[in-house]
Amino acid sequence: MTAIPDEIATLAHAGEQMIERLRKRAFLPDVRKALNLRFGIAEAAQLLGCSTNRIRMAEDDGRLPLPGQTETGRRLGYTIEELQTMRTVLGASPARSETDSPAVIAVQNFKGGVGKSTVTVHLAHYCAIQGYRVLVVDCDSQATTTTLFGFNPHFNISRHETLYPYLSIEPTQTDLNYAVKSTPWPNIDLIPSNLELFDVEYELAATGGDGQSILATRFRKLKQGLADIGRNYDIILLDPPPALGTISLAVMQSANALLVPLAATIPDFCSTVQFLSMMDQVIEQLTSAGFSIDYQFVRLVCSKFTSNDPAHAMVREIMTKTFGSALLPTPILESAEISHAAIRMMSVYELDKAIGSAKTHKRCRANLDEVMSQVEVLIKEMWGRPAVGDLSLALSQA
C-alpha cells in the first residue's frame, strides 16, 4: 500500500503537470502569454482625455505614427505601447510627479477565497490601460497572481527569482532589481512568487533568541527595497499571503495604502472584522516598536456580489452600515466572464473579445471599470490632497 505522503506527492506532481499543459494550451503558439489588445481612436481619445481630431492632427503632421492597417485599409487600432507613445507626445501621461511617492497598495485579507489576487490583477491591468507605470509584487507562496501573469510558478520560476534571496536569513541580494520581470503589458512589471517563498517563514520562525531583531530587519528591508525600486513606478501593488505571518507583517509595514476585498457573505464579513481588529492590534505593536505605519487610505471592496441575490443585498447593507465611507460605493459583481478569463490565465481586461455573451462581457467590464476608477481617485488624492483618518475610521467602525 502506498504511503500517504507519497500519494500526496503524486497528486501534487500531477497537478503541476496539468497546470503546465493548461498554460501551453492557453498561450499557443509560442507558449508565452501575449497581449492582443487594440483600442479604436474614439476609445483612445477617451483614455487620453483629448479629441479624436487632436490625435489625427498629430498623425498628419508626423508627431504620431499611423496605426497598423489591414489589407483593405481598415485601421487595426492602437496597442498599449502606442497609447503610451501618444500620452508622451500629447502630454497626457497620468504619471506622478517626481516629488510624489508611488502608491504602495497592499491588497490584503486573512480570509482566503475573497478574490484578493483577482482584485490585484484587474487593478494592475486597469491602471496600465490608464497609462500608469505599475509594479506587482506577488508575496504569496500560492502564487496565483504570478500564474495570472502567464508564469507557471512550478516550472518557470525558481526560488532565486522571488523575494526569497532578499528576505531570507542569509540574503544573497541587496536590492530588488534582480527579481523584476517584464510582462506582456509594456507598463507592468512583476516580482513573481512560488512555493519556496514560504521558506522565509520557516527560517524566521527558527531564528531563536535573535528572532525579534531579524524580523525587524526584514520589515525595514522590504520597505526600503520597495522605496528604492519604486522610483520607476507610479503604483506598486502588493499581494501578500492570506494569513498573519512574517511576510504579511512586512507588507503591512511597507504599504502606504490598504485595499481589503471581502465577499458578500456573513462568514466573510465576520472574518474581515476579525482581520481589522487584528490589524489594529498589530499596527499598535509595530508602532510601539518604532515602525512607521502611514496609510493614506484604507478601503474595503465587496467582491463576488450577485445583485439579484437577497442574501447578498442584506450583507452589503450590513457592510455599508458598519464601514460607511470606508466601503467602496460599487461592489465587484460575480461574473462568468471573470471565471472564463481566469481559466485562460487572463483578466477581463486582457480579453480582445467576449468569451460568453457580449452583454455579459460589457456589463462585467463596465463594473470593473467603475470599481477600479474609484481606487484610482484615491491614488490621485494621495498625490494631491492626502486623505486623513481613513485607517482610524475603518478600524473604529469595525
Q: What are phi and psi of 35, to 5 degrees?
A: -115, 120
Which of 97-106, 152-161, 287-296 bottoms out in mean pLDDT, i.e. has the lowest? 287-296
Cis preceding-peptide flag for 65 (omega within 30 of 0): no
- Write down the pLDDT at residue 150: 87
- Write down the pLDDT at residue 387: 45
Strands (E), the chain: 103-107, 134-138, 181-182, 188-191, 235-239, 257-263, 297-303
- Write down the pLDDT at residue 292: 80
> CB under 8 Å to 270, separation ≥6 — which residues?
none
| Best-predicted range by mean pLDDT (151-155, 183-187, 283-287) | 183-187
| Best-predicted range by mean pLDDT (22-26, 171-175, 177-181, 209-213) | 177-181
* pTM score of the predicted model: 0.88
Residue 110 has, within 13 A of its CA and on its CB side, a CA count of 17
Q: What are phi and psi of 191, to 5 degrees?
A: -100, 110
Dig out the grid coordinates for 260 from the structure: 481589503
Give 395's pLDDT tier (boundaries 50, 70, 90): very low
Using alpha carbons only, give the angle 156, 258, 335 rounded to the nearest 5 degrees.
65
- Write down the pLDDT at residue 240: 92
- Write down the pLDDT at residue 33: 66
Which of 22-31, 80-89, 210-219 bottoms out in mean pLDDT, i.e. has the lowest? 22-31
Q: How many helices (H) and strands (E) does the chain have?
A: 15, 7
- Output the average pLDDT for the chain: 86
Q: Which residue has the cell 484615491?
A: 378
Q: Count Cβ neighbours within 10 Å for each residue of 257-268 and write b for 16 or more, e otherwise.
A: bbbbbbbbbeeb
Summarised one tens digit per residue, pLDDT across range 241-257 is 988 888 888 898 899 99
Summarised one tens digit per residue, pLDDT across range 130-167 is 999 999 999 999 999 999 998 888 888 999 999 999 99
- Write down the pLDDT at residue 155: 80
Angle between helices 390-397 and 266-288 (to 10 degrees): 130
* DSSP β-ladder status, 235-239 and 181-182: unpaired
**What is residue 173's DSSP assignment?**
-
Q: Which residue has the cell 511617492?
A: 101
Q: If phi over 0 gives left and psi between -120 and 50 gives alpha, with beta otherwise, what is residue 150? A: left
- Listed as own residue / partner, the contacts of 128-131 with beta carbons closer than 8 Å and 24 or more positions apart are 128/80, 128/185, 128/187, 128/188, 129/47, 129/80, 129/83, 129/349, 130/47, 130/94, 130/376, 131/47, 131/83, 131/84, 131/87, 131/92, 131/93, 131/94, 131/95, 131/187
Task: For the chain, give the percent of residues with pLDDT over 90.
Answer: 58
Using alpha carbons only, give the angle 297, 283, 167 rounded to the nearest 5 degrees.
95
Dist CA 248 CA 358 (whole Å): 39
Dist CA 288 CA 363 (whole Å): 47
- Write down the pLDDT at residue 388: 43
Identify the structural domains of the chain with CATH numbers, from first to last.
Answer: 41-90 (1.10.1660.10), 103-397 (3.40.50.300)
Angle between helices 116-130 and 358-383 (to 10 degrees): 80
- Write down the pLDDT at residue 110: 83
Average pLDDT over residues 209-222: 69
Q: Which residue has the cell 485562460?
A: 344
